[in-house]
Amino acid sequence: MRVLVTGGAGFIGSHIVAALASRGHEPVVLDALLPTAHAGPLEQLPSGTAQFHHEDVRDPEAVRRALHGVTAVCHQAAMVGLGKDLTDAPDYVGSNDLGTAVLLAEMARADVRHLVLAGSMVIYGEGHYACPQHGRVAPGPRAAADLTAGRFEPPCPRCGADLVPGLVDEEAPADPRNVYAATKIAQEYLAAAWARSTGGRAMALRYHNVYGPGMPYNTPYAGVASFFRSALARGEAPRVFEDGHQRRDFVHVADVAAANVAALEAIADRPPGSLRAYNTGSGTPHTVGEMAAALAAASGGPTPVVTGEYRLGDVRHITASSQRLRTELGWRPAVDFADGVAQFARAPQRGLPAGRAPR
């Protein structure tokens, strides 16, 4: 199968390219090498690349060229993370939503009917919560006054009681709470509209907190694991926001790449004209503080510092049930948290200056 991987030179995309090649597929890469994801020039093509297009997914002619002879598209090209502030909004919308719209229009023109989309758990907002009295509830955005006062846990919106966090499934309603999250749910809506219009088949893999070798160094456009790893590479203590007890599902990039391959290999059997979403996580929650401490211990770096700081766009707890992905596509995460973090602590980062690797 000849597969166009947009963003295929990036952190996750490059792992997908290598995984596709290892299964005998032909990955074609289209990547603009934007500075938000690439601190410098591309040193080498991702392993297994059959063809490379250094072009932007927002350019219809570039996408048209890249789609030549392609059977399926694995759409990874996007700006990620919370970024700096709201001034990033036009770049997020342009990269993520305009880029997706251009890609889908050209796929319709080229009669390419299979799409696997990089989705995100950020579309859920806060995750699954249960109140002892009222059962499952959906807390609203946390107030700045509460966060400033150190009240980080969202209370029951009906009685104010403490809540118990759980695993969120794909039927949870979308509740995007920052610009990035809004662009990610818009991508899914666009892909669903494309599928209905063309009879195409689409899958959205809603990644949870992906980590592993090749994460970018020292950029606000990345995940929390990258922030911690970058601090340790500078010889600094990781700074943990809030109280460090935020629950996340950290999933290794090799497992995410395997999920993409499984989706691409199964998509022809899906019903046409629809989009099917899959949470993509390890299924085993860990706190942000645990990730920071594990990375520091594995690299021999300074002990993390819990700062009490916060970002209004962050949510408190979001952890995945990936049962649908396991049941329908036969996918299983293969990288244990302890092993994955130990590997990540010593692995190269994109844009890491020479001599800055953890000691």
Residues known to be catalytic: 180
Rounded to an integer, what distance in angstroms lies between the CA atom of residue 44 and that of residue 29? Answer: 13
CB 349 within 8 A of CB 226: yes
Three-class DSSP category at 114: strand
Rounded to an integer, what distance in angstroms lies between the CA atom of residue 293 and that of residue 270? Answer: 42
Rounded to an integer, what distance in angstroms lies between the CA atom of residue 292 and that of residue 295? Answer: 5
Which whole-number Å values give the CA distances from 3 to 23, 26, 27, 107, 176, in the listed order?
A: 12, 6, 5, 12, 30
| CB count in 10 Å sphere of residue 6 | 28
Rounded to an integer, what distance in angstroms lies between the CA atom of residue 358 and that of residue 232? Answer: 6
Which whole-number Å values give the CA distances from 226 to 89, 114, 246, in the listed order?
A: 22, 31, 16
Residue 144 Ramachandran class (φ > 0 left, ψ -120 to 50 alpha, else beta): alpha
CB 335 within 8 A of CB 254: yes
Residue 308 Ramachandran class (φ > 0 left, ψ -120 to 50 alpha, else beta): left
- State how far Cα 129 lies from the chain centre: 22
Q: Which two tokens stand for residue 146?
A: 């509460």
Q: Which two tokens stand for residue 185?
A: 């749910």
